[in-house]
Structure formats: structure tokens, C-alpha cells
Structure 1
Amino acid sequence: MEAKKTPAADLTKKTGMFMNFGLAISVGLVLFAFEYKSYDRGDLKDLGQVTDTFEELLDIPITEQPPPPPPPIEQPIIQEIPDEVEIEEKIEVNFDLDVKEDMVIKEVIIADAPVVEKADEIFDVVENAPMPPGGMEGWNQYLSKNLKYPTQARRMGIEGTVYVVFVVNTDGSIQDAAILRGIGGGCDEEALRVVANAPKWEPGKQRGRPVRVRMRLPIRFKLG
């Protein structure tokens, strides 16, 4: 059997009122705490009779120091130099030579020092170049008569120009023949043989004297 309560004993009806009442009290305490002010009630000191010297200390006259004087400028010392005195000296020259009127004085001619040429020096460029017998036309005739086309070069179809370098001595003889650029196939050896067996050339000359000259000549091989 359930227990029954009287409406007067039901406490839940007044919970809202109590809740609002407690909230109002808490808010009031918080506001009181923020608005509460405390004051220091210590004995106040009377500073009106204290003599101070602040104004006297602050009222200090400003002393102005004049700028330092500029350093003295040293003036250059001007010295008077007396005019140069020309001194005339008498020079006595005594000639002990007995010069006759018919004496002829030879004029001295200063010539350039002779150029000393070394005997073994080889020139590349000279005033008068070496020439083969009969000139270049005679050289071409010599080649056409003595130059033989190598069998290997003919068989391989090699043709072209062989460049030979050699030295023409002061007596016209030829030495130090070498290949400057060859084509192979036996043509290089044939060109050296023809040059080495060539007759003597007319030597080159420098200042009228025969000198050794290095020559470079082409020898052409062409299949007929």
C-alpha cells in the first residue's frame, strides 16, 4: 500500500523560490566584494613646513664657454735671393800645333757598324732567293725528266702534292732534305731522291754575301 503525503508536506513546491533567493544572495556578495574599498588610516605627515631647496638647486646659471681660438697660420718665410752674378772667366788656350795653310784635314765619316753574319745561320727570307739552274722553268724540266711515278702509288691510284723542305748552302749544294707534307705510296721517297740528286743551285744572298737559305717547294704527282 503506497504512502500518501499531504500537499502541505511537499517540499518540492518551494525549490524554485529557494534557488532564486540563494542566487540573489551570491550575486550580492560578489558585487560587495568588487565594490569594497580599504583606506590606509595611518597618521598623515604634515609636509607643509618642510623647507626644501628644489628651486634653489634647479635655478643654476648656465655658463657659456667661448670657442677656442683658431690655430695660428704659419706664414711662409720669403727669403730674398740676390740676382745671379755673371762671372766672366778668361780662358787662355795655348795651341802648340803648328798649323800650316796647306794642311788638309780629312773629314771623319761615321758609318754604321758592319753586320756580322754567322756562317752556320740559316735564313728563311733573304734579299736574293736561291735559284735552280735555268730558273723555275729549268727546275720543272729537271723534274719532268728525273721524277718517276712510284709503282705502288700508280697501282693504288694515289696522286697529289708532296711538299719538300731543304737547305741551299753557300756553294749551291742541297742538304737536309725532308718531307714537310707527304701523300704516301712511295711518292715521298721519290720526291726526296729527286731533290737530293738535283744539280747545284745559285746560292741566296743577304747584303751581297752568299748565305744558307731554307727552301720549301711542292712536287706534284699526277696520274696521266
Structure 2
Amino acid sequence: MQKGKPFRNEPDTVYLIRYQVCLAVVLIVLIIIFRVNISHDRTSDRMDVVSTPVAFLEIERTVYAEKPSPPPRPVSGIDKPVDVLIDEEIILLRDREYYFRLPFRLVESDLSHLARPLLGEVEREPKLLTDTRHVTRGLPYPQEARMAGVQGFVVVEFTVNPHGYVVNPRIVEGLGWGCDEVAMNAIKRFRFRPALRDGIAVSVELRETVYFKLI
């Protein structure tokens, strides 16, 4: 052995180098794993922060208000009760005829010769006060009858009470095809000056024949 040179064991040096290299590799791997974990945690945080879109429903609110009642119809002189004594006796007076045409007009025929008193004569016959043109206004020729070309007549009996109103209308001879209903609605619109007997307003029975004719 020479003096002045340090002793170096060659195998120990190689082992030390290998140990240091392994330690460095382990540290690098740990650093990489640590950084990957941090990056994953940040990504998870960002994913958790993303808000879920919320859908809003627009609800239309409808306010229902009560429709005011229509004002009362003015009372005309025709609709006023007759200020006379009333007799409950009913007299069958006469027949009369009316015609439905297109355009709709209700034409009265003078058939006074068909008068048939039931319980005695009257000193004043009932007089129709309603304009027949006004009666048919808003009453269409029945659609079914018009489409089928149906024409004919409907006989309606009714009572004119002591106040001149039509009460208890009924079909004596019908035509069908919606004509009966139209004839009844027309008759219900009639207003009369009541009949008098011995100065007292009496109820009378009338029979009207309503003709339906397409022109």
C-alpha cells in the first residue's frame, strides 16, 4: 500500500451511486403523482362548481270578471198591462195566416171570415200590435228545411191573455225539419191589444197558420 492516497472501496462507490439514482427516480415519480392529484382535484372542483341550468315556466294568469247583468229592457206602451177588468173566460176567436218567405217577411192575410166564436161574441177583437217584419228579424229559414227544399205550413194555437201576451202556444199541425220551432218562436214574439167583451178584457184562443216558402 502506498502512502498519501486515500483508500476507496470501489463496490461501495457504485452502490452509493445506484442508491442516489434510485432515490432521485422515486422523488421524480412522487412529484409527478402529486402534481397529477392536484390537477385532478382542481378539475373536480371546477366540475362541481358548474351550475345546473334551471328551467322557468311562465304562467299566464287569467282573471275572470263577472259580466255585468244587462240593463232591464225599457217597457214600451205595448208591454204595459191593460188597465181594465179581467175575465178568465177563454174565447176561440178566429184563424189567421202568415207567410215565411226568403228574404223573410211575415205577411198577414185578412181571414176574418173564418172567425169561430166559442163562448159568445166579443165587442172588440184582439189586434196584433207587433210589426210582423220585426217578428221575423233574426229568425232564419230552418237550415235543414232549406237544404232539403222543404216548404209547407205549421198551424199554431195559442192564448192571448187579457194583457195581450201570447201564452200556452202549441203545435196543431207540424211540418218538421225545424219549421215547428221557428213558427213557435215567431208566435211568442207577438203582442196584441186584448179583446173586450162587455168592457172587460178577456182571454181568447187564436190559431195562426205560418207558411214556409222558398222563393
**TM-score normalized by the length of structure 2:** 0.44
Structure with more of its chain in strand, by fraction: 2
Which entry has the higher C-alpha Rg, 1 or 2?
Answer: 1
Q: Taking CA–CA contacts closer than 8 Å with sequence separation of 6 or more, which of the two structures ends up with the larger relative contact order?
A: 2
